[in-house]
């Protein structure tokens, strides 16, 4: 699926499905459940907070608005991913 959508014959970037939030994982999961937003993946951030990727841009926009100022705008330190097997 492309990361752009056509609006008035122009390519407009789709909203990001990923965000970093200054909140505990359990709080992010609860907020997503409250708004019926489906999580694609979630991880704790080493720098504090939680990174969450929603299944679609619409859900991400709802959750971004719900968390408001708790959405982290700058860079974060993520947990190193290790492949099992």
Across the range 62-77, mean pLDDT stands at 94
What whole-number distance in Å separates Cα of residue 68 and Cα of residue 64?
Answer: 6
Kindly report whether the global pTM for this prediction surpasses the value 0.75: yes
Return the higher-pLDDT residue of 8 and 3: 8
Topology (CATH) of 14-72: Alpha-Beta Plaits (3.30.70)
Tokens of 24: 């505990």
pLDDT in tens, 11-67: 766 678 999 999 999 999 999 999 999 999 999 999 899 999 999 999 999 999 999
Give residue 81's pLDDT band: very low, low, confident or very high (50, 70, 90): low
Angle at 14 between CA 66 and CA 22, to 5 degrees: 30
Give residue 82's pLDDT band: very low, low, confident or very high (50, 70, 90): low
Per-residue model confidence (pLDDT) at position 47: 85
Instruction: Tell me which H or E stretch contains 20.
Output: strand 18-21
| Burial status of residue 32 (CB atoms within 10 A of its CB: 0-12, 13-18, 19 or more) | buried
């Amino acid at each position: 699926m492309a990361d752009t959508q056509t609006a008035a014959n122009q390519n407009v970037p789709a909203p990001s499905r990923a965000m970093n939030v200054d909140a505990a994982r359990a709080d992010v999961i609860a907020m997503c459940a409250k708004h019926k937003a489906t999580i694609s993946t979630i991880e704790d951030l080493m720098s504090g907070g939680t990174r969450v990727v929603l299944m679609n841009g619409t859900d991400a926009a709802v959750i971004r608005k719900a968390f408001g100022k708790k959405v982290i705008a700058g860079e974060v330190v993520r947990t190193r991913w290790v492949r099992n097997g």
